[in-house]
Chains A and B, each alone.
Chain A
Amino acid sequence: MLPLTLEDVSFAAGGRTIIDRVSCEFTPGPRTVILGPNGAGKSVLMRLCHGLLTPTAGRIAWRGSRDERRPRAQAMVFQRPVMLRRAALGNVTYGLKLAGVPRTERDRRAREVLDAVGLSAIASRPARVLSGGEQQKLALARAWALTPEVLFLDEPTANLDPGATREVERIVDQIHASGTKIVMTTHNLAQARRLADEILFISAGRVADHAPVERFFAQPSTTEAAAFIKGELPWS
């Protein structure tokens, strides 16, 4: 279903333009990191891509189709994981159930993926009493179990300590290695360097650079990008 193409996509809410005529393409393969300062519109852009928000102008198309429906083969992990009031395993099987996976297969797939993220030992513990890091790993497992073609991650480590951040990054790499396209937002430069193959730099609702990671950090093409890399904040 990739590439995902955005053509002049805008999004306004409450009289304020949050995303301003963004055109870009997400191709299969490279891990795309949407980078930018707080309030640049990264999360909104991602929600538009995922289909949680509808653009107020422009269009979003999967593999050139004119079909406006939202394809199922995509998943999203949020900054604050939403844990359902059931066991860790139940949180994963719930997603599989909604995806139409037969009952007999749900349990097996859920256990497999919990094993892969290192949560087998707590499969039967209630999800909402797990630690923040465990909850985010469970959210990744829930998304991964769906074997999405694209996985969107919205600042998945913003609330985590360094240890949990490392584990989440390792799992994201595993998911990418299993053949899933990764699209992730962050405002953390070090994380962008570690995880990105290409950078989509967003500033004030517009694409201010879109380049392979080495090129982006070596030769940012706009003054905003250069200033962000140097740690200056011209927009504040």
Chain B
Amino acid sequence: MSDIGSAFAEAAHLIAAADTTLYGIVLLSLEVSLTAVVAATVIGLPLGAALAIRRFPGRAVLLVTLNALMGLPPVVVGLLVYLLLSRAGPLGELGLLFTPAAMVIAQAILVTPIIAGLSRQVLEDAWHEYEEQLRSLGATAPMAAATLIWDTRYSLVTVVLAGFGRAAAEVGAVMIVGGNIDGVTRVMTTAISLETSKGDLPLALGLGIVLVAVVFLVNAAAQLIKSAAVRRYG
């Protein structure tokens, strides 16, 4: 038990002392996951809006596929991106394997279905309410999509943050395509995994505390934004 106690104490010390190793890892984590979420949002939101508004043959199959992809195992995504980017792979020439860029790609693939799937639900509910009015006013599909996204923006913040939570917390994909190289591709989750197996519990625990705190803060912010918006706009 004293091990755990002293590990917590040392972890707190590392965080308080602004340990450069620890903060370097935290910063890279945020950089990779935020970039991946931005990319996933740029792709996922219009995709979700199109699925919400358009009716076309094969839509049901696409929705089932999208929902299934929301539960994509990170290690499988990591493996696929690894195969794409490895020297013998189709994109091997780019030399991206074991770089932060590869980690961004893997996490974006992981998060895009989540953002597209969850935003589709939000936007489709709004579309049911707005459809006749928007069509009556002569809105084209792209205009209607833009209106729906704007009008549900506070709910969509929650959607995007759910994607961020998924990206920041996953370890399988970044481990495979990043390689957990010290100072280059080592992020919070891979570092926790490594330090735990090495027995450096204080660093692992310190990182764990920061990771949980980040996820906690992000969700608290989402909640605040949403309740403020409901009070303001009804």
Binding site for B on A (CB under 8 A): 47, 50, 52, 72, 75-76, 78, 82, 84-86, 94-95, 98-99, 126, 128-129, 146
Contact = CB atoms under 8 A, between A and B. Distances in A.
Give 9 nearest A-B pairs by CB, closest first.
Answer: A128-B234, A82-B133, A129-B234, A85-B151, A76-B136, A85-B233, A98-B137, A126-B233, A95-B137
A178 B180 CA distance: 72
A75 B135 CA distance: 10
A119 to B, nearest CB: 17
Contacts of A52: 132, 135-136
A126 B137 contact: no
Contacts of B135: 52
Contact of B232 (A82, A99, A126, A146): A126
Interface string B130-161: 10110111110001000100111000000000
Contacts of B137: 75, 94-95, 98-99, 146
A99 B136 contact: no
B3 interface: no
21 contacts: A50-B136, A52-B132, A75-B136, A76-B136, A78-B132, A78-B133, A82-B129, A82-B133, A85-B150, A85-B151, A85-B152, A85-B234, A86-B151, A86-B233, A98-B137, A98-B143, A99-B138, A126-B234, A128-B234, A129-B234, A146-B137
A84 B147 contact: yes
Given A84-B151, A95-B137, A146-B137, 9 more contacts: A47-B132, A52-B132, A72-B138, A75-B136, A82-B129, A84-B147, A98-B143, A126-B233, A126-B234
Contacts of B151: 84-86
Contacts of B147: 84, 94
Interface residues of B, number: 17
B233 A128 contact: yes
B136 to A, nearest CB: 5
Interface in B148-180: 150-152
A98 B130 CA distance: 14
B65 to A, nearest CB: 28
Contacts of B150: 85
A94 B137 CA distance: 9
A129 to B, nearest CB: 4
B154 to A, nearest CB: 9
Contacts of B136: 50, 52, 75-76, 78
Contact of A82 (B132, B152, B234): B132
Nearest to A99: B138
Nearest to B231: A129
B233 A98 contact: no
A82 B233 contact: no
A98 B139 contact: yes
A47 B131 CA distance: 13
Contacts of A50: 136
Contacts of A129: 233-234
Contacts of B138: 72, 98-99
Contacts of A78: 132-133, 136
A72 B135 CA distance: 11
Nearest to A75: B136
A197 to B, nearest CB: 24
A97 B23 CA distance: 49
A82 B137 CA distance: 12
Nearest to B154: A85
Contacts of B143: 98
A76 B234 CA distance: 24
Nearest to A80: B129
Contacts of B132: 47, 52, 76, 78, 82
B232 to A, nearest CB: 6
Contacts of A47: 132
A50 B232 CA distance: 34
Contacts of B152: 85
